[in-house]
Amino acid sequence: MLLKDCLAQAILSLKNSGITSANLDARVLLCHVLNCQNSYLYAHDTDSLTQDQLTTYKALITERQAHKPVAYIIGHKEFYGLDLKVNSHTLIPRPDTETLVDFALSVANSHHYQSILDLGTGSGAIILAIKKYLPNAYCMALDQSHQALAIACTNAKNLALDVDFIHSFWFDRVDRCFDLIVSNPPYIKEHDEHLKALNYEPQSALVAKDNGLENIKIIVKDACKYLNQGGCLAIEHGFDQAISCQQIFKAHNYTNVQTIKDYQGNDRVTYGFMEHICKQ
């Protein structure tokens, strides 16, 4: 079968299954099978696929028809210019989260921060992006999922980035203070309608009790014991959680509490500074 016919058939199958990004997905999956760039598909559209390639491609299209995310099918995802391995134990890093990385890099540079902790690291997306652009900072990251940590470690190794990963339930096993603490914790409300579309991703990475605020409350409350004087805590949250987050930060005596919008104009990251001396 010719490449262009195969592609057209795949796009049609995906469209018929309600996949709105059918064109892009069919191309990404074909590139994965042929181990090539998108431009190759245009230049070689009258080449024939081998039987093996065709069989593999059809299997991937079937997975996508079942609404499995492309990143899980091909096993990796680009985030902040880094190619990251992902699997069913890790959240797929989102473009929204690049807002948190942008802020972390900017505040670390302006305040000459030397040590950074990422809580709930998943694939390692946030801390690896930070370490890439702040190579001299000491970076640590933790997660409650051993399987996610294994992926984060692999990503760090593949990217030759030196980050300490530890298994910890939030601050349980953290034994030092940091200049900057960042987190993209689970913050989706239980029974939120958006969860239906996210059933391939680990629910423990997404959902939080107390209207989605349970983890944010724990982190904001405990982080003050693990921040150096003048240190900063920055947390990603839902588009409708900025006011609640700001109240939580202020209730725990953080100063200069502010919220930043993501590239789509939604409130996404709230941060504050801790002016006291760490008591750890």
Ligand X SMILES: C[S@@+](CC[C@H](N)C(=O)[O-])C[C@H]1O[C@@H](n2cnc3c(N)ncnc32)[C@H](O)[C@@H]1O
Site residues (CB under 6 A) for ligand X, limited to 178-197: 184-186
Is 61 exposed, middle or buried (CB count within 10 Å of its CB: 0-12, 13-18, 19+)?
A: buried
Is 139 exposed, middle or buried (CB count within 10 Å of its CB: 0-12, 13-18, 19+)?
A: buried
Q: Is 11 in the site for ligand X (CB under 6 A)?
A: no
Interhelix angle for 3-16 vs 51-65, to 10°? 20
All residues at 6 or more sequence positions from 232 whose CB lies less than 8 Å from its CB, including other chains: 107, 111, 113, 179, 180, 181, 271, 272, 273, 274
Distance between CA 43 and CA 3 in Å, rounded? 10
The DSSP-derived string for 99-149 is: HHHHHHHHHHHHHT--EEEEES-TTTHHHHHHHHH-TTSEEEEEES-HHHH
Q: Out of 3, 70, 101, 125, point to the residue binding ligand X (CB under 6 A).
A: 125
Tokens representing residue 251 in the block = 């209730």
Q: Is 93 in the site for ligand X (CB under 6 A)?
A: yes
Q: Out of 126, 174, 207, 224, point to the residue binding ligand X (CB under 6 A).
A: 126
Q: Which is nearer to ligand X, 104 or 126 (CB)?
A: 126
Distance between CA 128 and CA 144 in Å, rounded? 18
Q: Out of 204, 247, 258, 259, point to the residue binding ligand X (CB under 6 A).
A: 204
At closest approach, how far in Å is the CB of 8 from ligand X? Answer: 34
Site residues (CB under 6 A) for ligand X, limited to 46-85: none
Could you say which DSSP state residue 194 is in? G
Q: Is 231 in the site for ligand X (CB under 6 A)?
A: no
At closest approach, how far in Å is the CB of 205 from ligand X? Answer: 4
Q: Which is nearer to ligand X, 231 or 238 (CB)?
A: 238
Tokens representing residue 130 in the block = 């930070």
Q: Is 148 in the site for ligand X (CB under 6 A)?
A: yes
Burial 184-215 (b: 16+ CB within 10 A, else e): bbbbbbeeeeeeeebeebbeebbbbeeebbbb
Q: Is 120 in the site for ligand X (CB under 6 A)?
A: yes
At closest approach, how far in Å is the CB of 230 from ligand X? Answer: 25
Q: Out of 97, 99, 241, 244, point to the residue binding ligand X (CB under 6 A).
A: 97
Stretch near ligand X under the rule CB under 6 A, chosen from 8-16, 26-34, 90-98, 103-111: 90-98
At closest approach, how far in Å is the CB of 121 from ligand X? Answer: 5
Q: Is 211 in the site for ligand X (CB under 6 A)?
A: no
At closest approach, how far in Å is the CB of 89 from ligand X? Answer: 8
Interface residues with ligand X (CB under 6 A) are: 91, 93, 97, 120-123, 125-126, 142-145, 148, 169-170, 184-186, 204-205
